[in-house]
């Protein structure tokens, strides 16, 4: 089991993507299949951007074993009032300023969903959001009970 | 045993002369793929990681890293000796020396024909355009620079499908000139095509193209060697002038320069040069952070081939000369009708059936163990070790960074005691050293 934790600062768009790049390198060194790497990196990058764009600060904990990668993103921030709505493509609460930087198109959560085998979001408005993403590597099927 | 040694090796033109090497570590520090280590005081190359970019060769202060090439006398084995000349070669000379003079000197040296590589540009760009139109839209990567293709094989295997699997102008030009001579009744075995190369990567790509392919090119001659030979003749006596019979367009002459490819295609096209910039761009492309780009031209050398490691002239002066030449050719072409480079339809068809690059295989050198379990254990060891290393990247252990050293140790290619901070734990030396480095740089105290 490999465990890494990354701190994500809110509002720092120029650093968004650093954690997912580091995780990509680890997955490549482990010899994980390219498709899983790509899906994981895309999902994790979106999650990073979400913390940067919406929250004050957050952490991403990455746990890798021989079958899967589990990423837990926890942030302190405004939270998501209506998760179902946020999952719809195109829905966004991003400010004009964030949109001008090329973010906030409302594709973040739908994109995460498309690139993960398992996704769970829990959020308390005014406190923050916790997001769990799991991807199973090639040759390891997603267990039925999840 | 790890998988670092299970792949068959790349052919490399870069060679280290260990008699000359002083172990100065310059090459080790600049290598973009961390392929160099110092062992027994000499630089040693990991052939599976090297992509032939030539950065090491550039920084070697004692010229111990050289580029192996074919002996010039090789050309004499053939009755018809063709020099395939990239436009960048002309850029090595001052404007006062005419192209026809340069070619006359080369003929005096023994070549029977001079043919410019860029004659293949028109056909190549047309073939690339068709290729991109026929396939699903994605960010296409030009296969022009062999160091970049190798970099993708080694470090970005997931981007291999983005490479346009069609040969480069060099192959087209070789095929065209051979076809033309054969059509005139000359036997294939009497023809020897020699390419003047500005870099190590091109040599390697000719010597071992891609799996199962054989190059039409008989040999490769380093550009600096030919430059010196031509200069020698020019100094000793005025060269005879050889009339040029080329069918180039101005735009063809610029193909080897930065932007020379990107200007041919519609949509969002980028031209990126310099190894560091290329790696950064590929990294972001792989992460999907760069999207909706249609075509990228990637060149390992700063200023592309004008900055090739085997060039002699200042790269910016070379570019100036080529731009002037392109303008000059365009002016000339206005007053004459440009003959089509390939009139023979049958030949054109045979060329088209021969242009595909069959398969570019991944040569992924990143997994550190043979299987996931092993890699995971090694990575964990590496992480722990790295945390205890000083992070000074002094290079005294023979590895370029503390990270690379940690990897070497867990793979059994180095020992923790190779770290100078580990062995200098004697209180006296520590007191002196810690004045400079601080006490926390040492292993557990």
| pLDDT tens digits for range B388-416 | 898 999 999 999 999 999 999 999 999 99
Indicate if the alpha-carbon torsion angle B224, B225, B226, B227 is positive or negative.
positive
Residues B103 and B114 sit within 8 Å (Cβ to Cβ): yes
Q: Residue B345 burial by CB count (10 A; 0-12/13-18/19+): exposed, middle or buried?
A: exposed
pLDDT above 90 as % of chain B: 64
Residue A102 lies in a domain: yes
Hey, are the CB atoms on B286 and A24 less than 8 Å from each other? yes
Whether A142 is covered by a domain: the verdict is no
Asked if residue A50 belongs to a domain, the reply is yes
Architecture of the CATH domain B14-67? 2-Layer Sandwich (3.30)
* Distance from the Cα of residue A128 to its chain's centroid: 14
The pLDDT of residue B339 is 59
Dist CA A124 CA A55 (whole Å): 12
| pLDDT at residue number B4 | 41
- What gap in Å lies between CA B63 and CA B66, rounded to an integer? 7
Quick one: which of A89, A84, A90 has its CA closest to A123? A84
The neighbour count for residue B29, using CB atoms within 10 Å, is: 16
Q: Is the pLDDT of residue B208 over 80?
A: no
Structure confidence at residue B5 as a pLDDT band (50, 70, 90) = very low
CA atoms of B331 and B1, how far apart (whole Å): 63
The answer to whether residue A144 sits within a structural domain is no
Q: Check: CB of residue A59 under 8 Å from CB of residue A44.
A: no
Q: Is residue A13 part of a domain?
A: yes
- Determine contact, residues A123/A83, Cβ cutoff 8 Å: yes
Run of H or E residues at B328: helix B315-334
At what angle are helices B275-286 and B146-155 packed, to 10 degrees?
40
Smallest CA-to-CA distance from B365 within B158, B179, B153, B108 is with: B153
Handedness of CA B59, B148, B261, B337 (dihedral sign): positive
pLDDT for position A115: 94
Arithmetic mean of pLDDT, A47-59: 92
Would you call B158 and A34 a contact, using CB atoms and an 8 Å cutoff?
yes
* pLDDT score of B232: 92
Closest CA to A36 of A3, A70, A8, A59: A70
Looking at per-residue confidence, does B136 or B140 come out higher?
B140
A-chain CB neighbours of B289 within 8 Å are: 17, 45
For the four alpha carbons of B289, B294, B298 and B302, in that order, the dihedral sign comes to negative
pLDDT given at position B3:
39
Show which residues on chain A lie within 8 Å of chain B, measured between beta carbons: 1-2, 17, 20-21, 24-26, 28-32, 34, 37-38, 41-42, 45, 64-66, 137
Instruction: Give CA–CA dist B199/B110, Å, rounded.
Output: 23
Please answer whether residues B105 and B230 qualify as being in contact, where contact means their C-beta atoms are separated by less than 8 angstroms.
yes
Contact A21 B287 (CB under 8 A): yes
And the tokens for A122? 């829990």
Ramachandran angles phi, psi of B49, nearest 5°? -95, -25
Listing DSSP states for B201-263 in one string gives: HHHHHHHS-STT---S--EEEEHHHHHHHHHHHHHHSPPPPPPP-----HHHHTTTSTTTTGG
Residues of B with CB under 8 A from a CB of A: 3, 157-158, 283-284, 286-289, 364, 366-369, 371-373, 375-376, 379-380, 383
- Tell me which residue range forms the domain holding A117: 2-136
Compute the average pLDDT of residues A44-71: 93
**Alpha-carbon distance A108 to A95, whole Å?**
14
Q: Which residues of chain A are within 8 Å of residue B153 when distances are taken between CB atoms?
A: none
Q: What is the DSSP letter of B158?
A: G
Domain with residue A131: its CATH number is 3.30.565.10
User: Do residues A77 and A10 lie in contact, with contact meaning Cβ atoms separated by under 8 Å?
Assistant: yes
Closest by CA to A6, choosing from A51, A67, A43, A53, is A51
> Is the residue at A72 inside a domain?
yes
Hey, is A60 helix, strand or coil? strand
Q: What's the number of domains chain A is made of?
A: 1
Q: How many CB atoms lie within 10 A of CB B102?
A: 24
Residue pair B252/B101 in contact (Cβ under 8 Å)? The answer is no
Q: By mean pLDDT, which of B184-193, B342-351, B360-369 is the weakest?
A: B342-351
Confidence of residue B309 (pLDDT cuts 50, 70, 90): very high
Q: Are residues A43 and A135 in contact, defined by beta-carbon separation less than 8 angstroms?
A: yes
C-beta separation of B10 from B35 below 8 A: no
CATH architecture of B372-443: Orthogonal Bundle (1.10)
A45 and B379: CB-CB below 8 Å? no
**Hey, are the CB atoms on A41 and B367 less than 8 Å from each other?**
no
Residues B203/B220, Cβ–Cβ less than 8 Å: yes
Maximum CA pair distance of chain A? 43
Segment B16-65, tens digit of pLDDT:
999 999 999 999 999 999 999 999 999 999 988 899 999 999 999 999 99
**Nearest Cα residue to B20 out of B64, B79, B73, B68:** B64
Assigned domain for A145 exists: no
- The interface predicted TM-score (ipTM) is 0.77
| pLDDT over 70 at B205, yes or no | yes
Which of A2, A15, A16, A28 has the most B C-beta neighbours within 10 Å, making it the best mutation to test the interface with B? Answer: A28
CA distance B116 to B101: 15
Across residues A108-132, what is the average pLDDT?
A: 92
Query: What are the structural domain ranges in chain B?
Result: 14-67, 72-352, 372-443
Please judge whether B379 and A31 are an interchain contact, meaning their C-beta atoms are less than 8 angstroms apart.
no
**Other beta carbons less than 10 A from residue A87's beta carbon:** 16
Q: How far apart are CA B360 and CA B158, in angstroms?
A: 12
* Sign for the pseudo-dihedral over CA of B341, B347, B349, B353: negative
Is A141 contained in some domain? Answer: no
Q: How far is B37 from chain A (nearest CA, A)?
A: 20
The position carrying tokens 């293709």 is: B149
Residue from the list B286, B289, B367 with its beta carbon closest to the beta carbon of A29: B367
- Structure-token match 């000793």, residue found: B236
Residues 6+ positions from B315 with CB-CB distance below 8 Å: B302, B303, B306, B307
Share of chain B above pLDDT 70, in %: 93
Cα separations (Å) of B299 from B109, B257, B334? 31, 9, 32
A142 vs B146, higher pLDDT: B146
The arrangement of strands across the sheet holding B80-85 comes to: B113-116, B80-85, B191-197, B219-222
Flag whether the pTM goes above 0.80.
yes
Name the band, by pLDDT with cuts 50, 70 and 90, for residue B283: very high
């Amino acid at each position: 089991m490999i465990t890494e934790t990354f701190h994500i600062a809110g509002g720092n768009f120029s650093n968004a993507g650093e954690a997912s790049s580091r995780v990509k390198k680890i997955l490549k060194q482990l010899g994980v299949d390219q498709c899983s790497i790509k899906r994981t990196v895309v999902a994790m990058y979106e999650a990073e951007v979400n913390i940067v764009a919406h929250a004050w600060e957050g952490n991403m904990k990455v746990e890798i074993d021989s079958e899967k990668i589990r990423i837990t993103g926890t942030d302190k921030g405004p939270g998501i009032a209506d998760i179902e709505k946020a999952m719809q493509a195109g829905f966004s609460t991003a400010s004009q300023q964030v949109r001008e930087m090329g973010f906030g198109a409302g594709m973040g959560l739908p994109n995460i969903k498309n690139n993960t085998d398992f996704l769970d979001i829990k959020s308390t408005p005014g406190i923050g959001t916790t997001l769990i993403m799991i991807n199973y590597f090639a040759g390891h099927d997603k267990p039925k009970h999840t | 045993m790890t998988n670092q040694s299970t792949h068959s090796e790349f052919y490399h033109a870069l060679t280290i002369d260990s008699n000359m090497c002083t172990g100065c570590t310059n090459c080790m520090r600049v290598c973009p793929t961390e392929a160099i280590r110092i062992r027994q005081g000499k630089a040693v190359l990991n052939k599976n990681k090297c992509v032939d970019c030539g950065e090491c060769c550039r920084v070697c202060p004692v010229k111990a890293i050289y580029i192996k090439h074919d002996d010039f006398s090789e050309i004499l084995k053939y009755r018809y000796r063709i020099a395939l000349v990239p436009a960048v070669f002309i850029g090595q000379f001052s404007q006062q020396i005419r192209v026809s003079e340069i070619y006359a000197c080369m003929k005096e040296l023994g070549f029977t024909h001079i043919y410019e590589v860029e004659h293949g540009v028109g056909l190549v760009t047309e073939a690339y355009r068709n290729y991109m139109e026929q396939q699903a839209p994605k960010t296409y990567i030009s296969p022009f620079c062999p160091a970049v293709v190798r970099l993708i094989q080694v470090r970005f295997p997931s981007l291999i499908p983005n490479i346009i699997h069609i040969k480069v102008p060099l192959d087209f030009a070789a095929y065209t000139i051979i076809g033309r001579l054969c059509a005139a009744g000359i036997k294939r075995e009497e023809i020897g095509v020699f390419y003047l190369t500005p870099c190590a990567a091109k040599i390697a790509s000719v010597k071992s193209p891609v799996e199962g392919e054989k190059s039409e090119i008989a040999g490769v001659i380093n550009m600096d060697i030919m430059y010196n030979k031509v200069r020698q003749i020019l100094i000793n006596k005025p060269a005879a002038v050889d009339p040029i019979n080329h069918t180039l367009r101005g735009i063809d002459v610029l193909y080897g320069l930065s932007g020379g490819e990107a200007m041919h295609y519609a949509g969002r096209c980028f031209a990126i040069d310099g190894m560091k910039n290329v790696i950064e761009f590929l990294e972001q492309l792989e992460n999907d952070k760069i999207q909706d780009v249609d075509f990228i031209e990637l060149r390992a050398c700063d200023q592309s081939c004008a900055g090739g490691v085997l060039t002699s002239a200042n790269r910016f002066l070379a570019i100036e000369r080529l731009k002037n030449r392109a303008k000059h050719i365009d002016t000339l072409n206005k007053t004459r009708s440009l003959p089509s480079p390939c009139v023979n339809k049958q030949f054109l068809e045979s060329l088209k059936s021969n242009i595909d690059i069959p398969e570019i295989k991944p040569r992924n050198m990143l997994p550190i163990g043979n299987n996931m379990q092993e890699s995971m254990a090694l990575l964990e060891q590496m992480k722990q070790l790295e945390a205890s290393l000083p992070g000074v990247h002094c290079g005294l252990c023979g590895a370029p960074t503390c990270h690379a050293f940690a990897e070497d140790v867990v793979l059994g290619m180095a020992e923790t005691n190779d770290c100078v901070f580990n062995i200098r734990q004697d209180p006296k030396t520590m007191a002196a050293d810690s004045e400079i480095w601080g006490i926390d740089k040492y292993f557990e105290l």
